[in-house]
């Protein structure tokens, strides 16, 4: 296993363990809020999984988004209200993260754009994703974006670490 893959695997396990075993301060757990401007980073360079897409080189990407939380119905939902649209138009908009008691999560179905090499047309395949962000005491959030590509050349899983930091 290469050092990069090992680092990625250790990062993923560390995030999972931290999320599973950490206890949020009671004020955060009782009154979650994800409000304000955040830089959201997807560490695509550290992706892993069973899909051939997981082995394709890709740079990390980030953008700034504004989120607003509403807990008026008893369920806390943080909605992205400002920021760039995704490059893939099949990702449902607006993005709405739901608080599950310990982390923010968003699950959606969409079409994965499978890169099949220079000069070959992209192939779109049905996919389902789940992304989660667990808050840290400094106001940042860390988590994982997991996608299951259901058919086609890129069929399999792709898992990437993600982070959100207040700006």
| pLDDT tens for each residue of 7-34 | 444 344 434 433 333 334 434 455 689 9
Question: What per-residue confidence (pLDDT) applies to 3?
Answer: 40
Question: What per-residue confidence (pLDDT) applies to 30?
Answer: 56
What residues pair up with 97 in beta bridges, in sequence order? 78
Question: What per-residue confidence (pLDDT) applies to 32?
Answer: 87
Stretches in the chain below the pLDDT threshold 50:
1-28
Angstrom distances, CA of residue 91 to CA of 111, 128, 130: 8, 10, 12
CA pair distance 86, 13, nearest whole angstrom: 28
CA pair distance 97, 132, nearest whole angstrom: 8
- Which one-letter DSSP state was computed for residue 48? B
Question: What per-residue confidence (pLDDT) applies to 11?
Answer: 41
The separation between CA 55 and the C-alpha centre of its own chain, rounded to angstroms, equals 18
Question: What per-residue confidence (pLDDT) applies to 117?
Answer: 86
83: left (phi over 0), alpha (psi -120 to 50) or beta: left
* Secondary structure class of 99 (helix, strand, coil): strand
Extents of the domains making up the chain: 3-166
């Amino acid at each position: 296993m290469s050092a990069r893959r090992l680092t990625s695997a250790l990062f993923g396990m560390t995030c999972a363990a931290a999320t599973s075993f950490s206890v949020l301060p009671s004020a955060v757990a009782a009154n979650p809020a994800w409000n304000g401007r955040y830089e959201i980073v997807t560490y695509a360079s550290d992706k892993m999984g069973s899909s051939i897409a997981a082995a394709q080189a890709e740079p990390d990407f980030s953008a700034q988004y504004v989120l607003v939380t509403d807990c008026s119905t008893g369920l806390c939902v943080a909605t992205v209200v400002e920021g760039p649209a995704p490059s893939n138009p099949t990702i449902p908009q607006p993005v709405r993260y739901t608080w599950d008691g310990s982390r923010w999560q968003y699950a959606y179905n969409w079409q994965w754009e499978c890169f099949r090499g220079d000069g070959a047309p992209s192939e779109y395949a049905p996919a389902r994703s789940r992304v989660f962000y667990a808050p840290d005491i400094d106001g940042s959030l860390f988590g994982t974006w997991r996608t299951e590509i259901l058919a086609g050349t890129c069929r399999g899983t792709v898992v990437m670490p993600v982070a959100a930091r207040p700006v």
